[in-house]
Structure 1
Amino acid sequence: MSNETKRDVFEDLVEELANAYIDLDGEGIGEDLTNEDKRAYLKDYDIALPDDLPVIPKAVGEWIKECKHRNVTLADTLCMEMRPENVRNWMAFKDGDIANDFDRAGYLRKQDLMATAWVLGVWRVEETGEIVKLEAEK
């Protein structure tokens, strides 16, 4: 599996279609898209990652990796008492807020993001934009 998203595959197809109908000089018709080309794009689209991957901090991704490696359940991964402090802080407070202003909606949204990343086994790192995929156990 590649790190291509569905949007990447779509943009490749649009470019290929544009080139098939108009050559670079804007004169005449370019080469036709073959049935083989079409099947290849559909296959690439089917295996591509979703565009809306969860975006989580690196520390949260490391916690998910550690829990998956130790065969910890999702419920225990989300459990407040088990989480490292940096993950607990990310989940419990508003972005940039270190006061006691607990944000329940933000907490639930972040819990959903963390759970989605855990279930999918793939996410985007907030700090770098890198896509991280958990490798299946062999």
Structure 2
Amino acid sequence: MSNETKRDVFEKLAECYSDVSDAYTNETGSPYYCDDEPNYLDEYDAALPDDLPVITELISKYLIMRKRDRGDLVQALDEGTSFLLDGTQWESVQDWFWFSDVKDRVDTFALAWVLGVWRVEETGEIVKLEAEK
């Protein structure tokens, strides 16, 4: 594994693109690209990560509920591994096991919590919580 970030690799690619553009323009006398081409580095910075956490729909609803209640991650994990969702028990034992069965799932939940964005397993929908103002 490399110590380069994805941003480092993308910047190298952008530099190569620029070199090709300059060479093409010098050789042909016409630009390789249009002047109104977007700034891809800015778009890359604004884009979502490639490896979004994936959580189930019910866990997604739970995360949204805890965030809206201004709960903290420790509370959410504690309640998530016990029983609360909208003041009731988990809808099924399987939902509870999603949380408590595997350490990686707790890490996935925590990552979704911190990023404020995740993919819903059943639908593929990307949920993005807006930052509070």
Report % sequence identity. 43
Which amino acid is the alignment partner of residue 32 of structure 1?
A: Y
The gaps in structure 1 that reach 5 residues or longer are: 1-5, 22-27, 94-106
User: What is aligned with 1:101?
Assistant: none
User: What is aligned with 1:81?
Assistant: 82
User: What is aligned with 1:33?
Assistant: 33
Q: Is contact 1:74–1:115 with CA below 8 Å preserved after alignment? A: yes
Which amino acid is the alignment partner of residue 97 of structure 2?
A: N
User: Any idea what the Cα deviations from partners look like across 1:29-86, whole Å, max 9, x if unmatched?
Assistant: x95125763x611110011000000011011111010000111110110112254424
User: What is aligned with 2:121?
Assistant: 126
Three-state SS of the structure 2 residue aligned to 1:91 is helix
Q: Is contact 1:57–1:127 with CA below 8 Å preserved after alignment? A: yes
> For the aligned residues, what is the CA RMSD?
3.1
Change (3 A) 1:109 1:83: farther
TM-score, with length taken from structure 2: 0.64
Provide the rounded CA distance (Å) in 2 between the counterparts of 1:50 and 1:74: 21
Q: How does 1:45-84 map to 2 (within 5 A)?
A: 45-79=44-78, 80-84=81-85
Three-state SS of the structure 2 residue aligned to 1:127 is coil
Provide the rounded CA distance (Å) in 1 between the counterparts of 2:45 and 2:36: 15
User: What is aligned with 1:116?
Assistant: 111
User: What is aligned with 1:44?
Assistant: 43
User: What is aligned with 2:25?
Assistant: none
TM-score, with length taken from structure 1: 0.62
Q: Is contact 1:121–1:134 with CA below 8 Å preserved after alignment? A: yes
Q: Is contact 1:56–1:114 with CA below 8 Å preserved after alignment? A: yes
Q: Is contact 1:77–1:83 with CA below 8 Å preserved after alignment? A: no
Provide the rounded CA distance (Å) in 1 between the counterparts of 2:103 and 2:84: 15
The gaps in structure 2 that reach 5 residues or longer are: 1-5, 22-27
Q: Is contact 1:76–1:82 with CA below 8 Å preserved after alignment? A: no
Q: Is contact 1:56–1:113 with CA below 8 Å preserved after alignment? A: yes
Which amino acid is the alignment partner of residue 60 of structure 2?
A: G
